[in-house]
A and B are shown apart, each in its own frame.
Chain A
Amino acid sequence: MMEIFDIYLLEAVINGVLLGGVLALLALGLNLIFGVIDVTWICYAELVMIGMYGMYYLVQYYGLSYYLAAPLTILLVAAMGALLHWLVIAPLLGAAPINQLLATGGVLFVLQSFATVAFGIDFRNLGIRLPVLQFAEMHFSYSRLLSFLAALVGMVVIYLFMTRTYTGTAIRAIAQDRQIMALMGVDTKKIYLVTSALGGALAGLAACLLVLQYDVHPFVGLSFGPITFLICVLGGLGNFVGGFVAAFLFAEIISLGGLFSDLEWGYVLAFAFFIVMMFVRPGGLLARRS
């Protein structure tokens, strides 16, 4: 009896790591936007939802192969990210920060109800069932493994982009000092737009991976949106490494909590953990500020 229990535990731990990959990807996108533009996209998870619908329609309706549909979806969501910045955030850059956040809340409403009106409230899935990997009496879904690896690759690509290209360097510089970079001859507006598109692309990538594991419906964003926000706050908004660590911590809590009870309780546990952590490390997991 004890042995079986341990196997389940190990399985849950490993599944948590796999879940952490996608959560880390989501947190990275949100952190990128916050770090550079100082705006929080409340509607971030809804962008993912739209991306998931994009995948669904491209694969199921137009009959594209998954690997052809994925880049198209990423492009689509990236374009939406840029559009969101251009239409909503840019006019509000001078306003109080909280107004920008609320405006993206309005966009959340728009995207959610747009999906309800356009796609209906049925649950839909790709119809792709990837095999289940069996290893030493433990079961892992292949799709989770795939998304974990893809998320890692995505993050490495972003890292290389940020450190090895001019645009990436400019983005990091703006994150450090918003005012001075304009004087250094960097076109802030352009960098903001690029960053927004990049954040959108990350949401698109997450959408391609999540659609393998979950059915898509207009409110799917609500099931992982809040957890992403918690991860970002716990890691310290704008702190990439902190968000990464926090994502895996949360994924473990959700996965292990789900082992002992329903998945929803895993979320509640994660929230409780979050409250406790705020007492212990209020500035975020890896706070540098004193």
Chain B
Amino acid sequence: MSVRQFVPWIVGAVLIALPFVYRDPYHLHIIILILIWSFAYTSWSMMGRFGLVSLGHGGFMGVGAYVTALLWNHLGVSPWFGIPIALVCAGALALIVAYPCFRFRITGHYFALVTLALSGIVLQVITATRDYTGGSLGYTPDRTKGSHLVALQFDDKTTWYLIALGVWVAGLLIWRWVDRSMDRYALEAISEDEDAAAAAGVNVTYEKLKITVISALMTALAGALYCQYQMFISPDTVSGIAVSLQMVFAVVVGGIYVALGPTVGAIITILLAEGLRIGFGTKAVGWDNLVYGVLLVVFIIFLPKGILGSLLARLKSPGKPQP
């Protein structure tokens, strides 16, 4: 047991030391992307694990990325202020859409469809305001010369690696915090039976809203970070239904009910996409999503707990049949 206590610290130390020892820019780039997307996927599964399947997270991510970039370019607001503002916008959007949904008990299919429409609408808005956002052509935050702390722009990958690592760890800590709180039990009760949970004294609307807003804020942060790191955003990469579904896919593949499931999902999906890109070059356009789609269907049918989830379940109780 004492050895296991040290495992997170050793892994943490190795992860922090990594960019100072290993300096291949391409591989670091991939790892940074994996960390940022892992954070986004973790934030989706925060509510996804309680049966709140949202397909609107592409929308929250788009708000996070675009509000930050627009404030910087048009008003010269530093991302240090821009990101909080973007988070507030995403949180407000989440409240506006989620409150009526939860108050009037729009659950399951209905909730998924409403949030799906939300991500579609955010995409439409970004496209419609093409005079400011560049529409479908994408958008680039104004560059400063070299690394700049105020502009949150860094040339070296090491800084970005550490930022992404920090955010990723924070995501896992939030997951753990929710996992150990009373809210978790309340939300699990709600996902089983809302009436029974309400009868047992759970404030159903409040609990659901709370987790939704937390999840939306985290997703928006992921969007803003992605924007600052890549220095290029387009409606297709940070918003819309495709991004929402990509989140669902990664989480389902990795494992929705375990903390590191989304991370495993991010590793698999990004390596898959990169592998296809390197292997097939420009011919691979479209193929990665084709593979994603087929895998998503196959996983949901045959391995609904995901890779990590099934693995952990097998390790914990080899003989017992899983509930």
Residue ranges of A at the interface with B (Cβ–Cβ < 8 Å): 34, 40, 42, 88, 91-92, 95-99, 101-103, 105-114, 116-117, 218, 222, 225-227, 229-230, 232-233, 237, 262, 264-265, 267-268, 271, 274-275, 278-279, 282-283
Contact of A109 among B55, B249, B285 (CB under 8 A): B249
Q: In chain B, residues 87-126, which have Cβ atoms closer than 8 Å to a Cβ of chain A?
A: 96-97, 100-101, 103-106, 108-110, 112-114, 116-121, 123-125
User: B100's closest neighbor in chain A, by CB?
Assistant: A278
- CB-based nearest B residue for A92: B301
Q: A268-B124, A268-B128, A278-B101 are in contact. Are A113 and B117 (CB under 8 A)?
A: no
Spell out B's residues near A (CB within 8 Å). Answer: 51, 53, 55, 96-97, 100-101, 103-106, 108-110, 112-114, 116-121, 123-125, 127-128, 240-242, 245, 248-249, 252, 285-290, 292-297, 300-301, 304
26 A-B interface contacts by CB (under 8 A): A34-B109, A40-B109, A102-B248, A103-B297, A105-B245, A106-B295, A106-B296, A110-B289, A110-B290, A113-B287, A113-B288, A113-B290, A117-B290, A225-B241, A226-B119, A227-B117, A265-B128, A268-B121, A268-B128, A271-B118, A274-B114, A275-B96, A278-B106, A279-B100, A282-B104, A282-B105
Which residues of chain B are within 8 angstroms of A40 by Cβ–Cβ distance? 109, 112-113
Q: Which secondary structure characterizes the binding site on chain A? A: helix
Tell me the bound Cα distance from A113 to B291 in angstroms.
9
Q: Which residue of B lies closest to A114 (CB)?
A: B290
Separation of A213 and B184 alpha carbons in the complex (Å): 50
Contact flag A110-B113 (CB < 8 Å), given A92-B301, A102-B53, A222-B120:
no
The complex places the Cα of A237 from the Cα of B51 at a distance, in Å, of 19
Known: A106-B295, A106-B300, A113-B289. 16 other contacts (CB 8 A): A42-B116, A88-B297, A96-B51, A97-B109, A102-B296, A103-B297, A108-B241, A108-B293, A109-B290, A109-B292, A111-B293, A114-B290, A218-B286, A222-B241, A237-B113, A283-B104
Provide the residues of chain A in CB contact with B301, threshold 8 Å: 88, 91-92, 103
Q: Is the CB of B117 within 8 A of A226?
A: yes
Which residues in A have their C-beta under 8 angstroms from that of B240?
222
Are B117 and A274 closer than 8 Å at their CB atoms?
A: yes
Residues of A within 8 A of B286 (CB): 113-114, 116-117, 218
Contact of A233 with B113 at beta-carbon distance under 8 Å, contacts A95-B304, A114-B290, A282-B104 already known: yes
